[in-house]
Amino acid sequence: MYEQHAFHCYTTHFGDKPYHVCKDIAKAKFDVPDHDLLVGGFPCQDYSIMKKNSAGIEGSKGVLWWQIDDILREKRPKYVLLENVDRIIRSPAHQCGRDFSIILRCLYEKGYAVEWRVINAADYGYAQRRRRTFILAYHNQTKRFCDLAEGVCIRGLKHMHKYVMEDSIFAKAFPVADHSRSFTESWIDEIEYPDIPDVSSHQKTYLYNAGVMMNGRIYSVDVTPRYEKPIPLKDILEQAPVDEHYFLHENDMPQWIYAKGAKNEQRKRRDGSTYWFSEGSVQFPEPLDKPSRTMLTSESQIGRTSHVVVDKTTGRLRTLTPIECERLNGFPDNWTNTGMPERMRYFCMGNALVVPLISQIGKALVTTDFGRQ
């Protein structure tokens, strides 16, 4: 049986409790107890820019959204917080905004209002340029829903704009400095689309990095973060000497140079046909005075996306250590050092969120909503 290293790490830190389970969500969803807040995410590969011809919500992993939808249909928690890659708001490429519109329609049918923001961790002072879409929904039994519904009923789009810019949970947690003149308004209710299959077949809309949906009405606007100075990569590097196996070997340098370099070359498909492939170069080694690029699950392996830095002690080139990857996501040192293989430590961090971002959302939610429901 495949060992679930991430689950073992979780129970190591938070206890092996009866309600901590590691099961197929298709089966575990039937045992979810009543709750006020559902927090989760569904696999991002079918929405990610790193995967060509991403299938979106119809992909083998994207369809896991429907398992979350089943839980919401049964339990109707007051709040729902979800996360995915930034591309989800415009997926799939051939029908821009369809997948996110389906998610909004599902939430609308269950009595939720929704706000969303695409947030880059580095914009708010953290060490990694990691852009993610955060989705927060609140049920019509909450005061936040009622206040928003009243405001939209009286002042319409003006209230929706003010809400996105100033009064939403995301605006409280991650203030915005300005917005462009670009915005979109659309509808996702039964009058516009009789059912979800109709949304899937016909909905196409360009959504911006911030927005709100109330009673089937969608307002989306392009906002500019109130920037905070990010932590540079050099500040998360270990001070003590690191093990020799992190350093680049001379025999591997041609592979590293090729992976990081610009390309304009003819390649062959599986069926034997050819095509031209081109991409720009990646800085090699990484600039230490800037935040890191987005960390992926393949971190430390020879490839374009892995980070290579100049070691502080020796001046030699090396990959990041697992501890440094934990720091990029805001975890304590050695958080994943719970017995899993080192490769899995990198994998877990490539899949993780920047923890302080989630803390800020939680604090804003507790401060403004919990206790006044």
Of the residues 9, 22, 44, 325, only one is catalytic, namely 44
To the query of whether residue 44 is one of the catalytic residues in this protein, the response is: yes
Largest Cα separation within the chain, whole Å, is 69
Cis peptide before 33 (omega within 30 of 0): no
Determine which helix (DSSP H) or strand (DSSP E) holds 312, and give its type and residue range. Answer: none
Q: Of 21, 138, 135, nearest to 76 (Cα)?
A: 138
Distances (CA, A) of 89 to 56, 207, 372: 10, 6, 31
Q: Which pair of structure tokens corresponds to residue 193? A: 């689309």
Determine which helix (DSSP H) or strand (DSSP E) holds 7, and give its type and residue range. Answer: helix 5-14
Euclidean distance between the first and the last CA atom of the chain, given in angstroms as a whole number: 45
Q: Which pair of structure tokens corresponds to residue 235? A: 């500040």
Q: Are strands 112-120 and 210-214 parallel, antiparallel or unpaired?
A: antiparallel
CA separation for the pair 309, 238 (Å, rounded):
12
Q: Which residues pair with 79 in a beta bridge?
A: 37, 138
* CB-count exposure of residue 357 (10 Å: 0-12, 13-18, 19+): buried
CA separation for the pair 196, 186 (Å, rounded):
16
Q: Which pair of structure tokens corresponds to residue 339? A: 């017995």
Q: Which pair of structure tokens corresponds to residue 151? A: 């405001």
Q: Of 164, 177, 179, 120, nearest to 357 (Cα)?
A: 120
Residue pair 254/147 in contact by the 8 Å Cβ criterion = no
Catalogue the active-site residues.
44
